[in-house]
C-alpha cells in the first residue's frame, strides 16, 4: 500500500500557500504549511518535499511526471520506515 500518490503532489502544487510542504504524519501523507511542519502541531512529521522544491524541479508538470515522482518518493519513504 502506497503512502504517497500523485494526488498528494497535485494537492501540494495546487495549494494557495506558497510555503506548503508534503509531510508524513502517523503513516499518512498530508499537505501542511511549512510553519506547522517546523514548529506547529505537525513538528514531529517527516518532511518529504515542499511546493517550492517541486516547482523548481519541473518547468511544466504533467501527469506522467507526477506519477513517477510519487512512486519514487513513496519508495524512499517506505525505505525510511515511515
What is the per-residue DSSP string for the chain? --S--HHHHHHHHH-S-TTEEEEEETTEEEEEEHHHHHHSTTTTSEEEEEHHHHHHH-SS--HHHHHHHHHHHHHHHHHHT-
Which of 3-7, 36-40, 56-60 is most confident? Answer: 3-7
Give the model confidence (pLDDT) of 16-48 as tens digits. 999 999 999 988 999 999 888 787 777 788 899
Question: What is the value of pTM for the model shown?
Answer: 0.88
Amino acid at each position: 500500500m502506497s503512502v504517497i500518490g500523485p494526488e498528494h503532489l497535485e494537492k501540494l502544487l495546487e495549494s494557495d500557500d506558497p510555503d506548503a510542504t508534503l509531510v508524513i504524519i502517523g503513516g499518512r501523507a498530508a499537505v501542511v504549511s511549512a510553519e506547522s511542519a517546523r514548529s506547529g502541531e505537525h513538528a514531529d512529521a517527516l518532511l518529504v518535499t515542499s511546493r517550492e522544491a517541486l516547482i523548481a524541479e519541473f518547468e511544466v508538470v504533467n501527469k506522467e511526471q507526477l506519477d513517477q515522482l510519487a512512486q519514487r518518493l513513496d519508495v524512499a519513504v517506505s525505505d525510511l520506515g515511515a
